[in-house]
Amino acid sequence: MTGSILIVGASRGLGLGLVAEHLKRGFDVVATVRKPADEAPLKALPGAERLTVLQADVTSDADVARLAKAVPGPLDVVFINAGIIGPKSVVAASADELDNAMHTNVFGPIRLAHALLDQIHEKTGVLALMSSRMGSIGEASSGHSEVYRATKAAQNSLARSLWLTKAQARGVTVLSIHPGWVKTDMGGANADIDVETSVTGMADQLTANLGANAHRFIDYSGQEIAW
């Protein structure tokens, strides 16, 4: 399948990999970066003649509003990939550190999702957010990275609210996707899979869920994850 996709947060790692994979598949791709210096790796990709690069910071209301106006629609897929590990301890962290983690991982992405919803094809479109298995309460067996876990659980909850209040009525599928434990700057060298494996799987899931009209919490292979 070919089509159109917006990938938010595409300067490196999984975001850059998702852009490369969708260009390879023949998509028209819009990708965002936070600053002009981050554009070079994207523009060097094969198929970059079908790529548009825009600047946006998901924590900036002004950037969110500007991006929503600039994105050419309707789009088949919007994939919001924005996140930081944040502080390890909710007790040791400062209030500013906690606020930054929540705005970057939760409120920024979800507010952007609301702003972009009308730019997604009715009945068939997909809105995906980069989640994590660490956001699952049902599967939690460790207390480490407690702030990151909390942000992803909160993102999942707000994604469900978005689907129930707005996306479902438009027939837009919402996916909360765990990319796997991936060898990136965030995942580290000891992770299970490489970027290509993760982004290939996620791209397959985006296509497979077009028109599903559901909110699903899945991994890159399509496996359902407990909330």
Q: Please report whether residue 167 resides in a domain.
A: yes
End-to-end Cα distance, the chain: 30
Q: Please report whether residue 224 resides in a domain.
A: no
Edge to edge, what strands does the sheet with 126-130 contain?
Answer: 51-55, 28-33, 4-8, 77-80, 126-130, 173-178, 215-219
Q: Please report whether residue 121 resides in a domain.
A: yes
What band does 142 get if pLDDT is binned at 50, 70 and 90?
confident
Cα distances from 91 to residues 19, 146, 147, 151, in angstroms, run 37, 10, 10, 15
All residues at 6 or more sequence positions from 48 whose CB lies less than 8 Å from its CB, including other chains: 23, 42
Question: Considering the chain, what is the average pLDDT of its residues?
Answer: 94
All residues at 6 or more sequence positions from 218 whose CB lies less than 8 Å from its CB, including other chains: 175, 176, 177, 178, 205, 224, 225
Cα separation, 143 vs 111, whole angstroms: 28
Q: Please report whether residue 226 resides in a domain.
A: no
- pLDDT for position 185: 66
Residue 145 belongs to domain with CATH number: 3.40.50.720
Given a cut of 80, whether residue 187 has pLDDT beyond it is: no
Cα distances from 175 to residues 55, 128, 137, 155, 208, in angstroms, run 24, 5, 17, 11, 11
Q: Please report whether residue 227 resides in a domain.
A: no
Given a cut of 90, whether residue 143 has pLDDT beyond it is: no
Q: Average the pLDDT over 62-75 and give the result.
A: 94
Q: Average the pLDDT over 67-80 and give the result.
A: 94
Given a cut of 70, whether residue 145 has pLDDT beyond it is: yes
Cα separation, 129 vs 110, whole angstroms: 9
pTM here is: 0.94
Other C-beta atoms within 10 Å of 119: how many?
20
Q: Please report whether residue 97 resides in a domain.
A: yes
DSSP 48: G
Residues spanned by the domain of 123? 4-219
What band does 82 get if pLDDT is binned at 50, 70 and 90?
confident
55 in Cβ contact with 34 (< 8 Å): yes
- pLDDT for position 57: 95
Work out how many domains the chain is built from and give that number: 1
User: Please, what's the b/e burial string for 81-100 (b: 16 or more CB within 10 A of its CB; e: otherwise)?
Assistant: bbbeebbeeeeebeeeebeb
Q: Please report whether residue 53 resides in a domain.
A: yes
